[in-house]
A = this chain, B = another copy of it.
Amino acid sequence: MSTQDASTADLFGLEPQAPSIAGQRFEARLSRLLIADGAGFATRDVGRLEVTLEGVPGDRHMGMSRPADSRVPWYPRGTPIRNCRQVTILALDELEEIAQRLGVAEVKPEWIGANMVLEGIPRLTQLPAGTRLHFPSGAALAVEGENMPCRHAGAAVGAFYPEAEGMDVAFIKAAKGLRGLVAWVERAGEIVAGSEVSVRVPAQKLWIR
- Footprint of B on A, CB under 8 Å? 1, 3-8, 10-12, 14, 16, 18-21, 24, 26, 53, 64-65, 68, 74-76, 79-82, 84, 93-94, 97, 100, 122-123, 126-130, 134, 138, 140, 142, 144-145, 177-178, 184-188, 201-202, 204-209
Q: How far is the CA of A40 from the CA of B202 in the complex (A)?
A: 30
Give the chain B neighbours of A100 by CB distance below 8 A.
11
Q: List 17 A-B contacts (CB under 8 A).
A: A1-B206, A4-B122, A7-B122, A8-B93, A8-B122, A8-B177, A10-B123, A11-B93, A12-B97, A16-B123, A20-B206, A26-B209, A53-B80, A75-B140, A79-B138, A82-B184, A128-B128
Give the chain B neighbours of A5 by CB distance below 8 A.
177
Give the chain B neighbours of A127 by CB distance below 8 A.
207
Decide: A3 near B122, CB < 8 A? Known: A8-B178, A65-B53. yes
**Known contacts A75-B138, A145-B202, then 5 further A-B pairs from the complex at CB < 8 Å, ordered by chain A residue:** A75-B140, A79-B187, A126-B207, A128-B129, A204-B207
| Number of identical monomers bound together in the oligomeric complex | 2
Q: Which of B3, B19, B80, B130 contacts A206 (CB 8 A)?
A: B19
Among A4, A8, A76, A205, the one with the most B-chain Cβ atoms within 10 Å of its Cβ is A8
Q: How far is the CA of A12 from the CA of B93 in the complex (A)?
A: 8
